[in-house]
């Protein structure tokens, strides 16, 4: 019995000790994902910081976005199991801060956000308080294979500043002449639909937070264009992310339209060097406020409460340094949301993959013209319901009005809890 | 223990007391751990299922059974129940029948390379759930191996988009489950068959019983208790199905293949976290498992 008691005591003490270790000062732990992108950027930030603070201890841990989100929810407000800094998807930011306000440090007045793009800062601003340090932009770019366009008798200028009707015409023509589809994407993931929707400043929610699905004229226009593209084989729906990347690397599609982070994938295909051109996306023909610009993805850094916040803030000052953004751009092609970064030398340089064009400067221009969207805590509930609706519309010929009404009911139902 | 200390006359414990104390001492750690790690969380989850609100500030819902009431109106939850029951009704009987057939084939003493065949059929159980789900996903993609083989042999004229079709996607999950679990159940039957006297079969053969008659008249009746056990385990497992739904089909297309456990996970981790509702749904699964097991025991146990 005594042994058992002492064993239990020993176990209890080990746990307490571990807890104490996690709070240790002078060390920063960072959770983030993607070794070629976010992790790479953080490593460069760490090295720059270490030059001035050789004694600092900064540990970068690779964890997938889903794993980080699961860990935050599983910790349920107990920050001792969480790192000092973690990366949050912009679309998830509102959800996490609304549910766990005690986990995320309020950075209002503690971190100077004046030089960051206001649309980006809005993602991590909840009730007027700032909880995030903006990182990369998810500015959408349309990238085309010039060789295939040429085969069909088009140039990238023919696809610049156009609307979706013109895009459909060209798409049909290209398909007929080259046998290739224009675009590809994951079925049910609704990335393309969300990109098209945001390009006219419309969202799945209204300003007051109510659901905006069944009476959303822009959304109906988007779905109709999307369905036409899928039905006519201009857009190939695949099942997995890997298959989507495969359609680009196996050269089955002429184009891809998504967040500019996709450029790091395109630039990892040496055999396609010089074959790509970059431009803006088509705009919606009828919707109010339609533009040729949109956003998909992008994330911001959050600092966790109950840790050494001052140290973390001091480290994160790197993200207000033009040299830092110039250093990470060639390595990661992460587009800054820190406005002064555009004057850095890396942004004006041309890219071999895009025929020497200064694509990064172009993307920054696009970013400045991108309408913002409303996310809120229930963003993924709405996105999920929309995905189901679109699957039903495409696969089973469901009626758009009925399906959107069902989707709106589903989201309202969840919000009614 | 207090007894022994408080009575100075009888300092030493009797043999019986000693033994019983030793027994308790051996049981105590396991019991304690089960209570702390299993029963306490279950009780705590039951309380959570009556609560609502922000995860770190849960409060009692009004009325208390609010989460349970919502469930009946939740189309996605009802869809997930339908999906799970579909898997259960189609997959479990096919799998158990196959397992009995394989077991009785492999129980034949005249069969050469029995050990090899047994290993081959059991081997899928050694693969991880996530790993095999991912492999099945790759096999059944639009340009995957299954489509290529079927096209090559002219069995189908056009590639089937398995994972993007409500019926085929369910079929893929069922095929996966049968592949993964048939060998597992077969091992139970094989070991039960070892205890059936071989001379019974010899006697039956002398009486002119063919293989099928031996199976239905001797093997299956004698296997009844173990068939009951495997049926309960499979039902239990299927109702809690998670990995296949998450990794193989991602619940799609739409929510056509989502299982109850997958929906509970989504409610907690991918949507706006709703602990109370997720806990309530997991209790519904518990009740369903208990009810189905009770029915099966009633039907299957004819002693």
Contact of A240 with chain B, judged by CB distance below 8 Å, is answered with yes
Q: Check pLDDT > 90 for residue B278.
A: yes
Binary contact (A239, B165; C-beta < 8 A): no
pLDDT in tens, A397-412: 889 999 999 999 989 9
Cβ(B272)–Cβ(B256) under 8 Å?
no
- Count residue pairs from A and B with Cβ separation < 8 A: 88
Please indicate, yes or no, if residue A359 is contained in any of the structural domains. no
**B67-96 as b/e: b if 16+ CB within 10 A:** bbebbeebebbebbbebbeebbebbbeebb
Among candidates A384, A409, A417 on the partner chain, residue whose Cβ is nearest the Cβ of B52? A417
pLDDT at A16: 44
Task: With beta carbons under 8 A apart, name residues in chain A contacting B28.
Answer: 4
Query: Looking at the structure, do residues A43 and A170 belong to the same domain, yes or no?
Result: no
User: Measuring CA to CA, which residue among A412, A400, A413 is closest to residue A216?
Assistant: A400
Q: Check pLDDT > 70 for residue B71.
A: yes
Residue with token string 């980006």? A120
In chain B, whose CA is at the least distance from the CA of A377? B272
Calculate mean pLDDT across residues B9-35: 86
Contact of A15 with chain B, judged by CB distance below 8 Å, is answered with no
pTM, to two decimals: 0.83
Task: With beta carbons under 8 A apart, name residues in chain A contacting B163.
Answer: 239
Calculate mean pLDDT across residues B90-113: 89
- Pull the structure tokens for residue B294: 């009770």
Calculate mean pLDDT across residues A104-111: 93
Among candidates A237, A239, A388 on the partner chain, residue whose Cβ is nearest the Cβ of B254? A388
> What is the homologous superfamily of the domain B73-300 according to CATH?
MetI-like (1.10.3720.10)
What is the CATH number for A390? Answer: 3.40.190.10
Please indicate, yes or no, if residue A12 is contained in any of the structural domains. no
User: Measuring CA to CA, which residue among A270, A268, A271, A238 is closest to residue A253?
Assistant: A238
Task: With beta carbons under 8 A apart, name residues in chain A contacting B79.
Answer: none
Query: Looking at the structure, do residues A35 and A151 belong to the same domain, yes or no?
Result: no
User: Measuring CA to CA, which residue among A104, A255, A97 is closest to residue A170?
Assistant: A255
Among candidates B254, B270, B274 on the partner chain, residue whose Cβ is nearest the Cβ of A391? B254
Please indicate, yes or no, if residue A363 is contained in any of the structural domains. no
Report the residue of B173, B271, B276 to disrupt the A interface, i.e. the one with the largest count of A CBs within 10 Å: B271
Binary contact (B164, A237; C-beta < 8 A): yes
| Spatial distance between the Cα atoms of B145 and A401, rounded to a whole number of angstroms | 38
Calculate mean pLDDT across residues B168-174: 93
Please indicate, yes or no, if residue A354 is contained in any of the structural domains. no
Q: How far is A74 from chain B (nearest CA, A)?
A: 9
Query: Looking at the structure, do residues A252 and A394 belong to the same domain, yes or no?
Result: yes
Query: Looking at the structure, do residues A87 and A219 belong to the same domain, yes or no?
Result: no
| Percent of chain A residues topping a pLDDT of 90 | 56
In chain B, whose CA is at the least distance from the CA of A392? B254
- Pull the structure tokens for residue A330: 């060639």
Binary contact (A395, B254; C-beta < 8 A): yes
> How long is chain A?
417
ipTM of the complex as predicted: 0.80
Q: Check pLDDT > 90 for residue A168.
A: yes
pLDDT in tens, B117-133: 888 989 999 888 999 99
Please indicate, yes or no, if residue A20 is contained in any of the structural domains. no
How far apart, in Å, are the Cα atoms of A287 and each of A100, A171, A291, B7?
37, 21, 9, 91
Please indicate, yes or no, if residue A151 is contained in any of the structural domains. yes
pLDDT in tens, A13-35: 444 444 444 444 678 999 999 88
pLDDT in tens, A45-97: 999 999 999 888 999 999 999 899 999 999 888 888 999 999 999 989 999 99
Please indicate, yes or no, if residue A144 is contained in any of the structural domains. yes
β-strand pairing of A129-130 with A125-126: antiparallel
Question: If interface means Cβ-Cβ distance under 8 Å, which residues of chain B face chain A?
Answer: 25, 28-29, 52, 54-56, 70, 73-76, 137, 141-142, 161, 163-166, 250, 252-255, 266, 268-274, 276-277
Query: Looking at the structure, do residues A289 and A305 belong to the same domain, yes or no?
Result: no
Task: With beta carbons under 8 A apart, name residues in chain B contacting A391.
Answer: 252-254
Beta-bridged to residue A303, according to DSSP, are A85
Query: Looking at the structure, do residues A129 and A222 belong to the same domain, yes or no?
Result: no
Q: Check pLDDT > 80 for residue A4.
A: no
Contacts of residue A90, defined as CB under 8 A and 6 or more positions apart, other chains included, come to: A120, A123, A124, A138, A297, A298, A299, A300, A375
| CA angle at A242 for the pair A240 and A248, rounded to the nearest 5° | 115
Every domain of chain B with CATH number 1.10.3720.10 lies at 73-300
Q: Which range, of A145-149, A361-365, B9-13, B258-262, averages the lowest pLDDT?
A: B9-13
Can you give the residue range of the structural domain that contains A76?
Answer: 26-137+297-343
Query: Looking at the structure, do residues A272 and A220 belong to the same domain, yes or no?
Result: yes
Please indicate, yes or no, if residue A249 is contained in any of the structural domains. yes
Contact of A403 with chain B, judged by CB distance below 8 Å, is answered with no
Binary contact (B70, A413; C-beta < 8 A): yes
pLDDT at B9: 54
Beta-bridged to residue A181, according to DSSP, are A253
Q: Check pLDDT > 80 for residue B47.
A: yes
Q: What confidence tier does A206 reach under pLDDT thresholds 50, 70, 90? A: very high
Task: With beta carbons under 8 A apart, name residues in chain B contacting A239.
Answer: 137, 141-142, 161, 163-164
Question: Three-state SS for B303?
Answer: coil
pLDDT at B10: 56
Q: How far is A381 from chain B (nearest CA, A)?
A: 5
Beta-bridged to residue A351, according to DSSP, are A357
Long-range contacts of residues B292-296, Cβ cutoff 8 Å, at least 24 apart: B292/B232, B292/B235, B292/B239, B293/B232, B293/B235, B293/B236, B296/B228, B296/B231, B296/B232, B296/B235
Query: Looking at the structure, do residues A120 and A240 belong to the same domain, yes or no?
Result: no
Binary contact (B55, A102; C-beta < 8 A): no
Among candidates A1, A99, A388 on the partner chain, residue whose Cβ is nearest the Cβ of B272? A99
Q: Check pLDDT > 60 for residue B3.
A: no
Q: Check pLDDT > 90 for residue B202.
A: no
CB burial class (10 A; 0-12, 13-18, 19+) of residue A56?
A: middle
Query: Looking at the structure, do residues A200 and A115 belong to the same domain, yes or no?
Result: no
Contact of A408 with chain B, judged by CB distance below 8 Å, is answered with no
Among candidates A76, A392, A409 on the partner chain, residue whose Cβ is nearest the Cβ of B254? A392
Binary contact (B25, A384; C-beta < 8 A): no
pLDDT in tens, A323-366: 999 899 888 888 888 888 888 888 888 888 888 888 888 998 89
Mean pLDDT of chain A, nearest integer: 88
Question: Three-state SS for B130?
Answer: helix
Binary contact (B75, A406; C-beta < 8 A): yes
**3-class secondary structure per residue, chain A:** CHHHHHHHHHHHHHHHHHHHHHCCCCEEEEEECCCCCHHHHHHHHHHHHHHHCCCCEEEEEECCHHHHHHHHHHHCCCHHHCCCEEEEEHHHHHHHHHHCCCCECCCCCCCCCCCECHHHHHHCEECCEECEEECECCEEEEEEEHHHHHHCCCCHHHHCCCEHHHHHHHHHHHHHHHCCECEEEECCCCHHHHHHHHCCCCCCECCCCCECCCCCHHHHHHHHHHHHHHHCCCEEEECCHHHHHHHHHCCCECEEEEEHHHHHHHCCCHHHCCCEEEECCCECCCCCCCCCCCECCCEEEEEECCCCHHHHHHHHHHHHCHHHHHHHHHHHCCCECEHHHHHCHHHHCCEHHHCCECHHHHHHHHHHCCCCCCCCCCHHHHHHHHHHHHHHHHHHCCCHHHHHHHHHHHHHHHHCC
Query: Looking at the structure, do residues A323 and A184 belong to the same domain, yes or no?
Result: no
| Spatial distance between the Cα atoms of A391 and B169, rounded to a whole number of angstroms | 14
| Spatial distance between the Cα atoms of B117 and A386, rounded to a whole number of angstroms | 48
Query: Looking at the structure, do residues A210 and A248 belong to the same domain, yes or no?
Result: yes
Mean pLDDT of chain B, nearest integer: 88
Query: Looking at the structure, do residues A218 and A273 belong to the same domain, yes or no?
Result: yes
Q: What are phi and psi of A274, to 5 degrees?
A: 80, -5
Cβ(A142)–Cβ(A156) under 8 Å?
no
Q: How far is B37 from chain A (nearest CA, A)?
A: 15
């Amino acid at each position: 019995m005594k042994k058992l008691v002492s064993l239990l005591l020993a176990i209890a003490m080990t746990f307490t000790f571990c807890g104490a270790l996690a709070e240790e000062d002078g060390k920063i732990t960072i959770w983030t994902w993607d070794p070629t992108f976010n992790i790479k950027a953080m490593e460069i930030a760490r090295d720059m910081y270490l030059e001035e603070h050789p004694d600092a201890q900064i540990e970068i841990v690779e964890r997938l976005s889903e794993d980080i989100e699961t860990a935050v929810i599983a910790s349920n407000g107990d920050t001792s199991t969480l790192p000092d800094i973690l990366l949050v998807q912009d679309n998830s930011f509102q959800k996490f801060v609304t549910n766990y306000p005690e986990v995320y440090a309020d950075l209002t007045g503690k971190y100077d956000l004046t030089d960051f793009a206001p649309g980006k800062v809005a993602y991590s601003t909840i009730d007027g308080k700032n909880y995030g340090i903006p990182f990369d932009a998810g500015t959408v770019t349309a990238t085309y294979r010039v060789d295939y366009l040429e085969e069909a008798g088009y140039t990238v200028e023919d696809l610049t500043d156009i609307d979706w009707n013109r895009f459909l015409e060209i798409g049909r023509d290209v398909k007929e002449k080259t046998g290739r589809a224009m675009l590809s994407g994951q079925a049910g993931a609704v990335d393309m639909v969300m990109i098209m929707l945001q390009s006219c400043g419309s969202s799945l929610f209204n300003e007051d937070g109510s659901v905006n699905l069944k009476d959303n004229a822009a959304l109906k226009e988007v779905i109709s264009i999307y369905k036409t593209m899928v039905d006519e084989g201009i857009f190939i729906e695949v099942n997995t992310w890997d298959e989507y990347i495969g359609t680009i690397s196996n050269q089955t599609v002429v184009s891809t339209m998504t967040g500019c982070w996709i450029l790091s994938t395109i630039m990892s295909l040496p055999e396609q060097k010089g074959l790509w051109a970059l431009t803006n996306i088509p705009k919606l023909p009828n919707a109010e406020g339609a533009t040729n610009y949109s956003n998909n993805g992008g994330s911001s850094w959050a600092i966790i409460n109950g840790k050494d916040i001052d140290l973390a803030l001091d480290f994160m000052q790197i993200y207000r340094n033009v040299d830092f953004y110039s250093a990470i751009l060639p390595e990661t092609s992460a587009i800054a949301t820190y406005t002064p970064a555009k004057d850095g030398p890396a942004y004006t340089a041309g890219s071999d993959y895009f025929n020497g064009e200064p694509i990064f400067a172009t993307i920054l221009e696009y970013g400045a013209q991108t309408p913002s969207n409303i996310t809120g805590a229930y963003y993924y509930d709405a996105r999920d319901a929309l995905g189901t609706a679109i699957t039903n519309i495409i696969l089973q010929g469901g009626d758009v009005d009925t399906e959107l009404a069902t989707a709106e009911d589903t989201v309202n139902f969840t919000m009614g809890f | 223990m207090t007894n022994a200390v408080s009575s100075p006359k009888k300092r030493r414990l009797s043999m019986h007391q000693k033994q019983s104390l030793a027994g308790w001492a051996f049981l105590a750690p396991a019991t304690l751990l089960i209570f702390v790690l299993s029963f306490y969380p279950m009780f705590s989850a039951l309380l959570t299922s009556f609560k609502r609100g922000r995860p770190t500030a849960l409060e009692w819902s009004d009325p208390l059974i609010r989460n349970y009431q919502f469930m009946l109106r939740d189309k996605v939850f009802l869809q997930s129940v339908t999906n799970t029951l579909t898997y259960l009704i189609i997959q479990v009987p096919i799998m158990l029948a196959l397992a009995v057939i394989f077991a009785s084939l492999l129980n034949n003493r005249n069969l050469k390379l029995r050990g090899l065949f047994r290993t081959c059929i059991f081997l899928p159980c050694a693969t991880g759930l996530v790993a095999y789900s991912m492999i099945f996903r790759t096999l059944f993609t639009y340009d995957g191996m299954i489509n290529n083989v079927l096209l090559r042999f002219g069995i189908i004229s056009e590639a089937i988009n398995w994972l993007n079709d409500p019926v085929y996607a369910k079929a893929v999950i069922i095929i996966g489950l049968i592949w993964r679990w048939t060998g597992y159940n077969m091992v139970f039957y094989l070991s039960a068959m070892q205890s059936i006297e071989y001379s019974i079969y010899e006697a039956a053969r002398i009486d002119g019983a063919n293989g099928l008659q031996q199976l239905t008249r001797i093997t299956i009746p004698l296997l009844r208790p173990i068939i009951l056990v495997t049926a309960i385990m499979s039902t239990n497992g299927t109702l809690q199905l998670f990995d296949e739904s998450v990794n193989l089909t991602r619940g799609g297309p739409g929510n056509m293949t989502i299982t109850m456990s997958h929906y509970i996970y989504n409610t907690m981790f991918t949507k706006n976290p709703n602990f109370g509702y997720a806990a309530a749904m997991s209790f519904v699964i518990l009740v369903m498992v208990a009810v189905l097991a009770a029915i099966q025991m009633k039907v299957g146990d004819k002693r």
